[in-house]
Structure 1
């Protein structure tokens, strides 16, 4: 009987390592989503910062600071915050799916979240390029 416990022990330890690796991957996705949301907040508030700096430096011909702009930077910032939120939700769903697949020993890799993030970053990058080219 003790031999059976010894035989099962390496499999359980290996399974634990796989679960911990899955959790580390989930936490990496959560850090990525937080970074995207933080970047979205910075983008949304950058126009307000520029207007306040122009007022402080006396380069504005208006006597009072201007309200925040609701142009491209606001839309892009809100989009990035929403994207970060969506990625965190999808990361949790993927984490739970992989967790169940590990338990049932039927893991099937999926790259949906990777593709979504890559396409989103590409779209944001292209938008920023067009936005910066228009402002030159």
Structure 2
């Protein structure tokens, strides 16, 4: 595990693998990485917004659980982004098939389930405006 994390922060190790690819592929991989980081930052911002601006709910600690859940998901997305970037860059340099990932589907399901739960909370009156 430490070797994997170390490779994220030592691009020299990554550049020593395989051959230099067409720069367009590396830049496309970097754009995808930055998109994932924006997603992580949006989830973190949502968690902070819930913690600061959502009024207390009828069920105790729901607001805090929602805020912590969004913050943790944002952190997970950021870590997953750098891991996927490094694995993809390595595959590009080695001319291998790009690594498959279920994470986008899992993230989409988590966001969808969260949205449905919030809809139910609004419709049942568990969340009310100020």
The two structures have a TM-score, normalised by structure 1, of 0.69
Task: Decide whether the 8 Å contact of 2:29 with 2:88 is kept in 1.
Answer: yes
Counterpart CA distance in 1 for 2:68 and 2:124 is 21
2:44 alignment counterpart? 37
Could you list the runs of 4 or more consecutive aligned residues of structure 1 that deviate by over 4 angstroms after TM superposition? Answer: none
Larger-gyration structure (1/2): 1
1:61 alignment counterpart? none
How many residue pairs end up in the alignment? 106
Classify the secondary structure of the residue corresponding to 2:22: helix
Q: Alpha-carbon deviation of 1:70?
A: 5.5
**Which of 81, 102, 116 is equivalent to 2:92?**
102
Counterpart CA distance in 1 for 2:116 and 2:70 is 14
Computed over aligned residues only, the root mean square deviation of the Cα atoms, in angstroms, reads 2.2
Task: Decide whether the 8 Å contact of 1:36 with 1:83 is kept in 2.
Answer: yes
Counterpart CA distance in 2 for 1:99 and 1:70 is 45
Give runs of aligned pairs for residues 2-41 of structure 1, distance below 5 A. Answer: 15-41=22-48
1:114 alignment counterpart? 104
The two structures have a TM-score, normalised by structure 2, of 0.72
